[in-house]
Structure 1
Amino acid sequence: MEDLRKNKIYEAEIVGYSSDGSGVSRINGRAVFVPRTIVGEVWQVKILKVTSSAVWGKAIEPVHLSPERRTPDCEYCVRCGGCTLRHMSYDEELRFKLGKLNDALTHIGRQTVQAEEIIGSDRRERYRNKGIYTVRSVAGELKSGFFAPRTHELVPVERCLLQNEAADRVTAAVLEFMRRNGIEAYDEKSRKGSVRNVFVRTAVNTADCVACIVTAKGFGDRTAMLADHLRSACPELTGIVLNVNKTSGNTVLAGDFYTLWGRDTVCDSLGGVEYEISPQAFYQINPPQAEKLYNRAVEYAECTQNSTVLDLYCGAGTISLFLAKKAGRVIGAEIIPEAIENAKRNACRNGIENAEFICADAAEAAEMFLRDGIRPETVVVDPSRKGMDEETIRTVCKMQPDKVVYVSCNPSTLARDILVFNAHGYTLAAATALDMFPRTSHCEAVVKLIRR
């Protein structure tokens, strides 16, 4: 069989999807990844790169297009790499995401239980309550936007169809202030300059909107002028925060925080529970979908008034306070101090007395609960994309909860971790996919594991 050669063109049918939403074709026995194509389509495919483990191609000329194909309505999406699925219908996007979760459960996790449902999003545009724009100098001009995939090359973007419009307006106002006052953007190579990012968080069910301007060295005697400028340009703001971040990495929020005006927190509500969220605290970026997710997590937890539930990676207590409506006692753990303070205030704000919170990472918290003889009926975990470490999983299992409810934004690490739970006596009993991030390739999931 002929080896695939770079720059040669082949006619190929798209027969599946990769985990990032690229189409997959089979050419001369090799899987070829072809971005922005749809299952069932036939394309002239130009081979771009051939390695021993993978082949990448580019769709050059369509032979047959899918009825699910749509014309992208964003001028930036091909370059910025955020909305990788704008070329397909939303029904096809949901089919891809459900398949993505089930493929991970089958091939990585070696599970027989599959998710039979994906919960779609009612809103697919402007759904993000958190917008983060990177600020850089591009060809000598101040620009804001997002890094191109797998690079630190800024793609200038003036309006993003996923972000709340307030993020667009605040970022434009910050750039205007910088131009007027000769303030430079941060340069990560030389570590010179000032402004790094503009972070804006908006509430869905209140009018709160807080801007956090991330700089390497602050604004000096022009700080008050910045606050006045933003208040005038963006009257919807309820708070302005300055973050002086001197770290050398690409972490957005780090270092010292100063409230320049108003409140530094956003107040919002989900499912009748009110929350206060600081810039550093984790809060789901699509609150209406988060409410559906948390309701499914509570359903899987099967709490009663006699139940004790541990919520590891609890953030500002969002899932914890949902669980507290049903459980007798809820204990949340989170490593970010500001988030724990938010969680405690959120419990008081809602008159919830059966939820308590500790500041510790998940492994430390699980070990402490085990040492103190706490045996929860249910443990809920909602880790970052990297998933859980094996030591934390082992400690959770030593507590012998009847159920573990695992919320995940990364099907691959979820499936990997399920295998570890399997080794410690837990079986996958149910799974649901949920679209928290419409138009992107990301997929949320919640699963229930039961002790054998």
Structure 2
Amino acid sequence: MAEVRKNTVHPLHIEGYTAEGMGVARLDGRVVFIPGTIRGEDWEVQLLKVNKGVAWGKGTRLISPSPVRQEPDCPYSGRCGGCQYRHMSYEEELAAKGQRVRDALERVGGVHLELPPVLGAESPLRYRNKVQFPVSRGKCGLSIGFYRPRSHDVVDTEDCLLQPEADTALRLAFKGWMEDFQIPAYDECTGRGLIRHLYIRTNRAGEALCCVVANGKELPHTGELSGALRAAVPKLAGLVLNVNLRDTNVILGDAYRTLWGRDWLEEELCGLTFRLSVPSFFQINRDQTERLYQLALEFAGLTGEETVLDLYCGIGTISLCLARLAGHVIGAEVVPQAIEDARANALRNGVTNAEFFCGDAGEVAARLAGQGVRPQVICVDPPRKGLAPEVPAVLASMAPDRIVYVSCDPATLARDVKRLEELGYRAVQAQPVDLFPRTAHVETVLRMER
């Protein structure tokens, strides 16, 4: 038996993938995780870290390559933590994501469904409508880009194949402004410096909204900055300052000030128009989001008479789509600004059968249940951590006929599905959708019935 310790090298066969997109092999009873590998391949692997039941390694020699292996089309692949699947075909990536959803539902949720193939994007390139660049200055100078895997070291990224070319031009202009006027980058270790992040939102019309996240209440040379950004992208809609003075990893602070132009963009989704400010939550892949929401509508099975409760409704995107086919929609969201946006979006689109409440999802649902509200359909689209522990019981107490769960994390989806099954609901249909090509993330729509 080979000695299993740090820095030893072993021939390993890749059997599958982790949730983060790493290859999985086995060695003397241990599971070994190896990034950049593909199932079916044989590698010589150097162990970097060894625990009792698990180890991490790096491939040092590819013995037998997979036919779906391809040369990464991005020069930052492996150095930047944004993408996990650029070394394989898109078809293999979709298969890996489908297996991830299936494994979670079966192993965590105890649910066995006939899961259709993941709905892939027509193009896995330049789909992101929002980008947040961390800014740092180190030994190699000013860096504006993305973090290295599992670190806060910033990789200076001239271009990213997930973002529109307008973002690339704006980043270059912004970096030039910082260098020309010697604007200091924020230092996480000391809490000093000014520029923390450059945030860019774009829409289908080609407009861009720029936000500078700063460790200060003023920006110097704002006229020169707005001029440089407008020269780079003539369709710049506005330039906004966000003030974040806290010692935190949270990107945005609470205070905003418009430096030039306007502080919002409009975007069309599913035939509806939404106004997006900097903090507005909006899915980053517009085309795939339309497919996701269409599935949610189909799973809801609306006839025009139902009352629908939409929890974690954000700025009302799913709520307003549901309202076109429902009798009445009630949306709930904990973020006050999002609820203001949702109400404004309802007015903007002439939707009169939707109302919105601000509050924690569980508390709002419990309050409505106490008032005798009995929705026939409940739709939930929670954050990555899934439903709060008390929410499944509250949903079940309202006795809806159907629950539609839109999930961005298969593990928490499976956990919550198991909770709901214990409360009298059965998973009957699911469909994964790839909203984030080339990354390890996958969305799933699932329908449960009482």
Letter in 1 for 2:435: M
The offset of 1:425, in angstroms, is 1.2
Counterparts of 1:169-188 in structure 2, within 5 Å, are 169-188=169-188
The offset of 1:220, in angstroms, is 4.5
Residue 221 and residue 2 in structure 1: after superposition, are their counterparts in 2 closer, same or farther (change >3 A)? closer
Q: Structure 1 unaligned segments of length 5 or more: list them.
A: none
Counterpart Cα distance in 1 of 2:336 and 2:391: 20
- Contact 2:30-2:52 at 8 Å conserved across structures: no
- Contact 1:194-1:218 at 8 Å conserved across structures: no
Please tell me whether residue 403 in structure 1 is matched to residue 431 in structure 2: no
Determine the structure 2 residue equivalent to 1:67.
Answer: 67
Determine the structure 1 residue equivalent to 2:302.
Answer: 303
Please tell me whether residue 280 in structure 1 is matched to residue 279 in structure 2: yes
Determine the structure 1 residue equivalent to 2:134.
Answer: 134
Please tell me whether residue 351 in structure 1 is matched to residue 350 in structure 2: yes
Determine the structure 1 residue equivalent to 2:100.
Answer: 100
SS in 2 for 1:145: strand
Determine the structure 2 residue equivalent to 1:32.
Answer: 32
Letter in 1 for 2:390: E
Determine the structure 2 residue equivalent to 1:210.
Answer: 209
Post-superposition CA distance 1:313-338 (Å, at most 9, x none): 11111111111111011111112222
Q: Judge which range, 441-450 or 162-171, deviates more.
A: 162-171
Determine the structure 1 residue equivalent to 2:124.
Answer: 124
Counterpart Cα distance in 2 of 1:196 and 1:107: 41
- Contact 2:102-2:115 at 8 Å conserved across structures: yes
The offset of 1:3, in angstroms, is 4.8
Counterpart Cα distance in 2 of 1:346 and 1:26: 52
Runs of 4+ in 1 over 6 A off after TM superposition: none
The offset of 1:226, in angstroms, is 2.7
The offset of 1:269, in angstroms, is 0.8
Q: Judge which range, 395-404 or 216-225, deviates more.
A: 216-225
Counterpart Cα distance in 2 of 1:219 and 1:355: 40
Counterparts of 1:45-444 in structure 2, within 5 Å, are 45-139=45-139, 141-204=141-204, 206-220=205-219, 222-444=221-443
- Contact 2:81-2:150 at 8 Å conserved across structures: no
Counterpart Cα distance in 2 of 1:3 and 1:429: 48
Among all aligned residue pairs of Structure 1 and Structure 2, give the percentage whose two residues are the same amino acid.
44
The offset of 1:225, in angstroms, is 3.7
Post-superposition CA distance 1:295-324 (Å, at most 9, x none): 000111111211011111111111111111
- Contact 1:277-1:339 at 8 Å conserved across structures: no
- Contact 1:166-1:200 at 8 Å conserved across structures: no
- Contact 2:31-2:53 at 8 Å conserved across structures: no
SS in 1 for 2:63: strand
- Contact 2:334-2:361 at 8 Å conserved across structures: yes
- Contact 1:14-1:37 at 8 Å conserved across structures: yes
- RMSD over aligned Cα atoms: 1.5
TM-score using structure 2 length: 0.97
Determine the structure 2 residue equivalent to 1:12.
Answer: 12
Letter in 1 for 2:431: T
- Contact 1:102-1:114 at 8 Å conserved across structures: no
The offset of 1:219, in angstroms, is 3.3
Letter in 2 for 1:135: V
Residue 221 and residue 77 in structure 1: after superposition, are their counterparts in 2 closer, same or farther (change >3 A)? closer
Letter in 1 for 2:266: C
Letter in 2 for 1:390: P
